[in-house]
Amino acid sequence: MRIFSARKKESYDQNLPLPRHIGIIMDGNGRWATKRNLPRSVGHRRGSIVFETLIQYCIDIGIEVVTVYAFSTENWRRPKEEVDGIMQLLVENLRKWLDDDRENNMRMRFIGDLSLFSDETHTLIDEVIQKSARFQQQLNIAINYGSRAELVRAFNLLKDKEGPLAETDISNALYTYGQPDPDLIIRPGGEVRISNFMLWQSAYAEYFFTEKLWPDFTKHDIDEAIAYFQSKKRRFGGLDDNRSSVNL
């Protein structure tokens, strides 16, 4: 694992395969605002704008699946004012997506324990899921999500299964069932950890850590992360002379 600081931007090689599934831990919104003597809520709103821009970029370049870590199970511990602001921003974005008539968009899935959200939020989520069902590319929004909780949920779903469990049983009981595992995990914000994000699914993912805060992220940073991914030999436990050593 390497952490990247400011340096010459790299563009990915369009002749090499892209990651099919990218996971993004959108970190640094509050610190971005604090550094500018602004309320943390301003950082979250700025991060939301960046999210919209970069998700559209992922659509445009052909990424099949994107999963964004928007709100963790641990984030409820933050000050009530900040949490309330994030919940309000979620509702605003859901309404905005419902009003978006673009033909080039992503099919939405909301992963995590949604039981703590308001009835209004539940209704909007259901409407967004229905409206986006026609699209091919997939966007997972991880809200009130924690990977350990996801695994506990999966094991409980499988507790009555007869016979020994297989890896495919567990994968199919996760929120991301039916999707390829993430090939690349991107974490801005300077922290070099994955913070309870897709622990099972990311077993063979490449990790791109950078000190840049999420509200400062650009398309060039996505390009740089993809270029890093393309530079790796992905062996999946094999040897260099095995076909899996090629960037597939």
**Active-site amino acid positions:** 27, 75
Q: What dihedral angle (degrees, nearest 10) is formed by the CA atoms of 138, 139, 145, 151?
A: 10
Helical packing angle, 119-132 and 80-99, nearest 10°:
30
CB 126 within 8 Å of CB 160: no
Helix or strand run (H / E) with residue 224 = helix 219-230
Burial degree of 27 (CB within 10 A; 0-12, 13-18, 19+): buried
CB 17 within 8 Å of CB 247: yes
CB 125 within 8 Å of CB 94: yes
Cβ neighbours of 17 (radius 10 Å) = 12
Residue corresponding to tokens 């398309």: 219
Helices (H) and strands (E) in the chain, counts: 7, 7
Instruction: Give 53's contacts (C-beta < 8 A, 6+ positions apart).
Output: 219
Helical packing angle, 219-230 and 40-61, nearest 10°:
60
Nearest CA-CA partner of 69 in 30, 24, 28, 19: 24
**SS3 (DSSP) at 109:** strand
